[in-house]
Structure 1
Amino acid sequence: MNDKYEFCKEVNVRPFAYAISLIDGKWKMHILFWLWKKEVLRYSELKRALGKVTHKMLSNQLKELENDGLIRRREYPQVPPKVEYSLSETGKTLMPVLSAVCHWGTEHIPEDWNI
Structure 2
Amino acid sequence: MAITINSINILQTYLRGVLGRANHHAGNVEGVSLALLGAIMWRADGQILVKQYAGQPANIIWFFIGTKKYVLTYNHAIQKIELKEKTHKGNILASFDNSSSYHNIITIFENL
Q: Same fold (TM over 0.5)?
A: no
Q: Which has a greater percent of strand?
A: 2
| Structure of greater Rg | 1
Q: TM-score, normalised by structure 2?
A: 0.30
Q: TM-score, normalised by structure 1?
A: 0.29
